[in-house]
Each structure stands twice: as C-alpha cells, then as structure tokens.
Amino acid sequence: MKLVIVGTGYVGLITGACFAEFGYNVICVDKNNDRINKLNNAQCPFYEPGLENLLLKHLTVTKLLSFTNSLSEVVADADIIFITVGTPTKRVENQADLSAVWEVAEEIGKKIFNYTVVVTKSTVPVGTTLELKNILSSNLESDKFDVVSNPEFLREGSAINDFLRPDRIVIGTNSKKSENIMKELYRPLYLNETPIVFTNIETSEMIKYASNSFLATKISFINQIADLCEKVGANVNDVAKAMGMDKRIGSKFLHAGPGFGGSCFPKDIKAFVSTAKKYNIDFSILNAVNDSNAIRPINIAKKILESKKYKKGNTIAILGLSFKPNTNDVRDSTSLKIAKLLIKKGIKIKSYDPKAMNNAKLEINELIECKTAYEACESADAVIIATEWNEFRALDFKKIKEKAKKLVIYDLRNIYNPKELRDIGFEYYGIGT
C-alpha cells in the first residue's frame, strides 16, 4: 500500500514515521521547502522522543519514507491520502480554521485518477469530512474516491508509543470498500488485538472532540476540587487517588495542577463549543471548563505574588517551560502564562527547561536563560516547579538551599512530599494540599 501524508506537523510526521515502521511506503508532503530539506536529512522540526531515530531508519535503512514539497506529483500513485494539516483556532468565533484542509482538497481532487481513500486525520469539526467529499466531487467521479475520518489520539512526549500501541483506533466510513482498505491498513495492530471502532463519519469526528473534552473536563474538575481542598484542609492527591480507585472514574487525568495547555485541548474545546453553538446546543459544561482553565494561571500567579508579597526586583526561578514534560512545545503553556504575569509585576524570571528554552524565549524575551535547574535557583527568592520533567523529580534540595536566597517552593505539579521539603527548611506550597 502506498500512503501519502499531507502536512508534516506533529500528527503528520508521527503518522508517516509509524506507518513506515509498519512496513508501508510513505511519502510525506509539505509546502514548506525548508522543512522538507531538513526532514530529508532526518532533522526533526520539534522534539519528540524516538522520532528522529525512526525518521533516520526509514529514510536511510528501509527507504520506506520520503519527503517532498510537490503534492501534485505524488497524489496519483497513492492508495490512501491522509490530510494532517493544521486546524488552528480562527480569530473570530473560536471555530477551527479549515482553510488548509480545503486547499489540499482542491489540489488532490485534480490529480486523483484511480480509486483513492482520502482520510482526515487532523482534528476537524463534525461535518468537515463530508464537506471534503463535496469539494472532491467537484473534480472527481464518485467511484474514484471515498472519504474517511480516522482521528489521532497521540499525546506529545509519548506519541510513537501511542501510535504503535493505541487504546483504540476509530474509523468513520460510509462505504464497505474504504472500510476494508482501512482494516487492511491497520492489520498490524488488529493482529495485536487493538480494538477498532468502525462507525459513520460524523460519529468518528465527534469521538475525537468528545474524548479530548472529557479529559479536559476531568482535569478542570480536579483542579477546582484542589482549590476547595486548600480551603478546608483536605489533600487533593489523596482525594484523586481514592476517586481513581473507583473503576467507573479511573485514575488518569486527575492530577491537579496549573491547568491544561498544549496544542490540542484548549483549541479543541473552543472549536467543540463553537460547533455546539452552531446547532443551538448549550455546552455549559465545556464553557465552564474553558473559563476555569483560563482563570487558573491568573489565580496561581496572584496567589504566588500575595503569599510572600513579592515586589519589583525580586527574582523567581521557574523550572519547566513546556506545557508538559518530554516536549519542547510551549503552545498554551501555563508555565509561560504564569511567567508573563510575574514579569508584568516586575519580577525577574530565571528559567530552565531541558528542551523548551528556545521556544520559550521566542515568546518571552525577558526570561533569563539558565543551563541547569540549580543555576536557575541561584539567588532566587522562590522556586516554581511548573512542568514535571523527570529531572525535576529528584532535585537535590540541600544544594538548592545553599544557592537560593530564600527557601520557598511552589510545586505546581505536586511532585514533592511537603513534609520532606519542610524538614529541610523550605516553605512549601503545593496545589490543593
């Protein structure tokens, strides 16, 4: 089977590299020449554990993977075309901006000659895949193609594992022929007994948004529980642990913190609310999730500032700038939101992140860049642990005690035992404890 992946962003590259790992012939296309040149040298445009090795293997050893900027040249040979272009939030009305999807549709519609399956893998609002079908129909006979929805559920930082060992695969089709081709495509996972949900196209598109929205709701729920825990003397970690033992609730995505960020949850929730509004459905739950998540970093920054009456000229160290560990992605990072608010109040921010320093500096020039966590803590009036990178999980606090000016820790990810740090002499503030 020959696969063409259009868009070499996060989803496209992981999808391409992993399908090559299954043994398929994969061509990834992007109109960004610079990106294609770099990819042809196995240079990844972002950090994702394991991806560069996979690219190198399939570019140079198996030669199953290749990159090009010419979509029109590769369409005709493809059995399946995956659309994995970006669908950012539009400035107006929070809808997903689908212009990149339509642009690809126009182009491929003119170049398909033999039956081809066209798959939407980007997260797209309900109705998009059928709209894609309409656009393709203006250039193509109906027996020359089928459209399919096959959303991804990849988490940054563990995307390759998520692709190769998914909890489930969702495939939305409206023809037996395309269903069988998709079944064949995922045969390597089918053999591993990965559950595959076959459904109609609209349902498949809904599943993606409903899943992300539910996870985000779970996070916002526990975050508000954490706020109440702080007031009444309860411990949110124990609350979450005991709640999670109930199999109906489950333990995942119940870690209280500074709020969710990243390239998906914030964008997808806004788009989902916007879709619901279009159909006069009041998504009051998701509106509340959105609002409570937006206010969270503001409240946390306020709480930090008020806790020790920091003023202009004080220095605070921030450890972790990416929106989560194992990625250099700072999109909607709560760490950066908090940093900006503190900088606004005249606080100097010394910061360290294992991978995201460069991206963070592009967004906040005032960040004082440090080479290690300990360097960031030097002469600091306080330390904020904002992202739970593994290397922050076992910091030497005796060393930090020698370097820092004041011994105050804000552990926004609850990765430390408050008593242990208090015993060493730190004033410790967690979330919901």
State in angstroms the smallest separation of the CB of 154 from ligand UDX: 5
Respond yes or no: is residue 377 known to be catalytic: no
CB closest to ligand UDX, residue no: 264
Distance CA 86, CA 11 (A): 9
Q: Is 253 in the site for ligand UDX (CB under 6 A)?
A: yes
Of 168, 229, 6, 36, the closest CA to residue 101 belongs to 6
Assess 255 for contact with ligand UDX (CB under 6 A).
yes
Between 315 and 414, CB nearer to ligand UDX: 414
Half-sphere exposure of 432 (CA within 13 A, CB side): 26
- Answer yes or no whether residue 403 interacts with ligand UDX by CB under 6 A: no
Do residues 229 and 235 touch, judged by C-beta distance below 8 A?
A: yes
Residue 352 β-bridge partners: 319
Q: Is 320 in the site for ligand UDX (CB under 6 A)?
A: no
Among the listed residues 18, 229, 264, 370, the single catalytic one is 264
Task: Read off the amino acid at residue 190.
Answer: Y
What is the footprint of ligand UDX within residues 44-83 (CB under 6 A)?
none
Interacting span for ligand UDX (CB under 6 A) from 28-36, 152-160, 291-299, 415-423: 152-160
Burial annotation 91-122 (CB, 10 A radius, 16+ → b, else e): eeebbbebebbeebbebbbebbeeebbbbbbb
* E strand or H helix at 66: strand 65-68
Q: Which is nearer to ligand UDX, 137 or 161 (CB)?
A: 161
Please pick, from the candidates 67, 82, 145, 153, the single residue that binds ligand UDX as defined by CB under 6 A: 153
- Is 401 an interacting residue with respect to ligand UDX (CB under 6 A)? no
DSSP state of 140: S
Least distance CB 232 / ligand UDX (angstroms): 21
Q: Find, among 343, 344, 361, 363, the residue nearest to 352 by Cα.
A: 361
- The alpha-helical segments, DSSP class H, found in 233-372 are 236-244, 265-278, 284-308, 334-344, 357-363
Which of 323, 397, 428, 429 touches ligand UDX (CB under 6 A)? 323
Nearer to ligand UDX, 111 or 208 (CB): 208
- Residue at 257: amino acid letter: G
The nearest distance, CB 128 to ligand UDX, in angstroms, is: 16
Kindly tell me the sign of the dihedral angle through the C-alpha atoms of 220, 222, 227, 228: positive
- Of 109 and 157, which has the nearer Cβ to ligand UDX? 157
Binding piece for ligand UDX, criterion CB under 6 A, among 46-54, 84-92, 101-109, 211-219: 211-219
Decide if residue 264 touches ligand UDX (CB under 6 A): yes
Active site residues: 264
Question: Which residue ranges make up the site for ligand UDX (CB under 6 A)?
Answer: 152-156, 212, 215, 219, 253-255, 257, 260-262, 264-265, 323-324
